[in-house]
Structures are given as structure tokens and as C-alpha cells.
Amino acid sequence: MACALTAYSVKMVSPGHSAMELIIAREVMGEWNAHHALERKQILLPLEGEGIPARLPADLLVAFFPIFQGTPDEQALRNAGEEIERHLQAGRPALIYFSGARADFAAASVAQEKEWGDLRRRYESRAVIDSYGDEKEFRAKFSRQIDTIIGTHGYFQDQVSASTAVPAPPPERELSALARTLLSEACEDFEAYISRIKVGNTLKIQANGKQLVDPAKPELIATWDAAFEELLAGSYICDAGCNGQLYQISTKGFDFLKTIGKTPVGYIAEMGGDIMSCG
């Protein structure tokens, strides 16, 4: 049997050259899918890659701020910051990583440290922020933190709840006026019966001792038949035997009648309308 998976898109952004971090991140997500997809019914889909459309905001954003060999590109940093901001404002989680290694040039290192500090302060209360000294450390931290954030972050918990929630039943369709009339007449019957005899183009519907279908008005046959089928399909009445020619008001039918001020009569009234042959 096929099982439905909830797919989470993961957007990765970086203002500088971070090819190795991106490779490691994809590998870690692949390993996470291999270990957890079937058990948790969840799968991670990186948005980067040929033929994969990037949509914003993704379910999870992973940002890398690696070492710049030279002066940091201010526009690239600004663009990355704006993307992170849009993502967080949408109420979605983010993992942000800063390289803890030293830059080759002192000037670049000083500029990076200032920029890194500003970014940390800007997002520290809204995202998971960490640093790494080398690729091995990054792999270990990313493996641990991506599993934690998917398992505990409120956004992912809400997604799981929404995917497993039982849909609300559709609202009960209001009975037509003719169906109400038919049900009300049956309520006046001592045994709450409706008799229907349908032969060819003729139809007889009887309740409370009345023949409800006027034989002089054959054009109304279809209308009365539709009202009867409406009650039967909605479980307001049920088959009481006699080769499908006798029907009785069900518990649901009596519950509806109470909402319009109607109560049963005869021995059914004595029983409080609770003991029925059907429904």
C-alpha cells in the first residue's frame, strides 16, 4: 500500500562561495530522508538544482555565511539578509551558519566579523544560529539541528497536524419543503410509517392515513418521488419491510422533527421516540 509523504522544501542561500557546504547539506538531507521518510511520512526536498523551481518562502531556509577571500560583497550580503527576513516574517523556520575559520586577509576578517555580529543580533531570537570551524563540524551540527528543528519546531508540528486532521463532515443539506411535509405527516402516524408503491408511471405515497400524491396531477409524481428519495438518502427514514413498500421514521428523522417542533404520537410517543425498528 502506498503511503502519502509530506514534502518539505528546503531553500539554501549563501552570499559567497560555499559549494562544499551546499554539497554537505544535500548529502545530510538525503541521509535524513533515507532514515526517516517512511517512518515519519516526511521528506526533505532541496530547491536548488537543475530543473527544480525555487519558490518563496520555502518550508525551511538554510543560510551559509562562509569566509570571503577579500572584501565581502555588500550587495550579496544585503540580498541574503533580505531573503532571510522575508522567510522569517512568513513565520517559517531558518538555520543560519557562520564560518568560524579565519579569513586570509586581515581587512576582510575585520569586515566579516562586524557583518556577522550584526546578522547574529538581528536573527538570534527568531532563528537557529550556529558556527562551524570546518566541514566535518558543519556536517555534524547540520545533521543534528535539522533533525531537531523538524521534530520540534511549531511550524512542522502544525503541518503534521494539518495533514493528519480528520476533515469535518459536510454540512447537512436542509430538507426541501415537500420532504418536510412528508416527514411531518409520517410523524402524525401512530407507527410513524410511510407507504410507497411505485408501479410504472404511477406512484402512491401514504402517511397518516392520507394519499399524498394527487392522481389527478401526474405532473407532481416526480416532485413527490424526489422528496421521498431525499428523506431516504439522508437517512431520515428507513426500510421497514413489506418488499420495500413500507418505511419508518428513523432516529435521525425524529431528531430533525424535534428541531421544527414536531413530536411523535401513539406508542412511539409513549416510548419517547427512542425505541425504533431502524436508525
Name the amino acid, one letter, at 50.
E
Q: In what order do the strands lie in the sheet with 202-207?
A: 210-211, 202-207, 193-199, 246-249, 237-241
The CATH number of the domain covering residues in 6-164: 3.40.50.300
Question: What pLDDT is stored for residue 141 in this prediction?
Answer: 94
**What is the 3-class SS of 190-204, one letter each residue?**
CCCEEEEEEECCEEE
Coil vs helix vs strand at 133: coil
User: What are the structural domain ranges in the chain?
Assistant: 6-164, 177-270
Q: Is the peptide bond before 57 cis (omega within 30 degrees of 0)?
A: yes
Coil vs helix vs strand at 138: helix
List the pLDDT tens digit at each of the 279 positions of the chain: 345 678 888 988 887 656 788 889 999 999 999 988 888 888 898 875 434 445 556 899 998 887 665 556 777 778 888 888 889 988 899 999 988 765 544 445 566 667 777 878 888 888 999 988 888 999 999 999 999 998 888 888 777 666 555 666 666 678 888 999 999 998 888 888 899 988 878 889 999 888 998 888 888 888 999 999 999 999 999 988 777 788 988 889 888 888 888 887 765 555 554 444 465
pTM score: 0.55
**Distance (Å, rounded) from C-alpha 119 to C-alpha 69?**
19
Assigned C-alpha cell, 124: 538570534
Assigned C-alpha cell, 91: 513565520
* Residue 203 CA: distances (Å) to CA of 85, 133, 212, 221, 243: 70, 87, 10, 6, 16
